Amino acid sequence: MKSYLLLFTVILFSGVAGAQQLPARWDELVASDFSQALQKSSKTCILPIGILEKHGPHSPIGTDLIHVREWAARAVKAEYAVVFPDYFYGQINEARHQPGTFALPSKVIWELLEATCDEIARNGFDKIVILNGHGGNPEFIRFFMQSLLNKRHNYAVYFYQPQNDKEFTDQYLKMHQSDPQNDQHAGEGETSTLLYYRPDLMRMDRAASQSGANQHRLNLPNVYTPIWWYAAYPNHYAGEGAKASNQLGKFTTDHEIASFVSALKAIKADTVTLQLQKEYFDKVDSLNK
């Protein structure tokens, strides 16, 4: 009897310990654990930014959001950081003609991102890592970050920008079935990622029901116009999602998670960026004295 009671006690306490494991998601933490999360994360918070837009006729509107949510959730199992809740306020004006698109005015998304970073910092984080899942966001994010130098901040923002090595690229191209040059939005690559992360949300029987080919409706060499994307891809679909595979999705996500974990470790250990920011702002302030 004693042995059974001992076994039951071990199982009970091991279950409690598992249930009390420190969550990584901000919204799943209890307030009394927040200081522990700050310490464990080295005051590092991941801000995954997605978007709400059409992703072909087969992939969910929140594909980019789901992608970064799953990406961050898996990465922090290997390297702990606090993950900010779902954030889908980015630049997506080019998809306003499609149902389900959530596009706020430029001024609003700018001010909201700055206010969000300020509020994350007010809660004790001094490192904010932007993990972006939407191809239309990088220009906006980079300009936003450069503008942070307009005034002193007590936190640093890092924009993770993955670079694929030759070994990965060579293997990826071997597994890839469609034309890589046109595989941009809801095509084989992106569809494969979602097919691996959330197969329950995919409608693969519809993937070939619309064209994802470049329509080449505008030809202005060395000239940029904001209507360029619509001119090329009026269906807001670029590629061949029907050729996606779970195998390509797993290969891609395994690599992207490992790469982000490596960057996250470096960011958590970084002491130079904040030091240089302080030095920079001290010099800026000294000009007014």
Residue 209: inside a domain? yes
Residue 156: inside a domain? yes
Spatial distance between the Cα atoms of 183 and 138, rounded to a whole number of angstroms = 18
Domain count for the chain, please give it: 1
Which pLDDT does position 45 carry in this prediction?
Answer: 98
Spatial distance between the Cα atoms of 255 and 151, rounded to a whole number of angstroms = 37
Which pLDDT does position 19 carry in this prediction?
Answer: 45
Which pLDDT does position 137 carry in this prediction?
Answer: 97
Would you say 212 and 66 are in contact if contact means Cβ atoms under 8 Å apart? no
**CATH number for the domain that contains residue 211:** 3.40.50.10310
Mean pLDDT by 10 residues, the chain (289 residues): 45 45 97 98 98 98 98 98 97 97 97 98 98 96 96 96 93 95 96 97 97 96 96 97 97 97 98 97 89
Residue 193 token pair: 């990622």
Residue 183: inside a domain? yes
Which pLDDT does position 15 carry in this prediction?
Answer: 43
Which pLDDT does position 4 carry in this prediction?
Answer: 47
Helix axes 188-197, 246-269, angle to 10 degrees: 80
Residue 271: inside a domain? yes
Residue 18: inside a domain? no
Angle formed at CA 142 by CA 138 and CA 145, multiple of 5 degrees:
140
Q: Which domain holds residue 105?
A: 24-277
Which pLDDT does position 68 carry in this prediction?
Answer: 98
- The full 3-state SS of 28-89, as one line of letters, equals HCCHHHHHHHHHHCCCEEEEEECCCCCECECECCCHHHHHHHHHHHHHHHHCCCEECCCECC
Residue 13: inside a domain? no
Helix axes 246-269, 63-78, angle to 10 degrees: 60
Residue 287: inside a domain? no
Residue 283: inside a domain? no
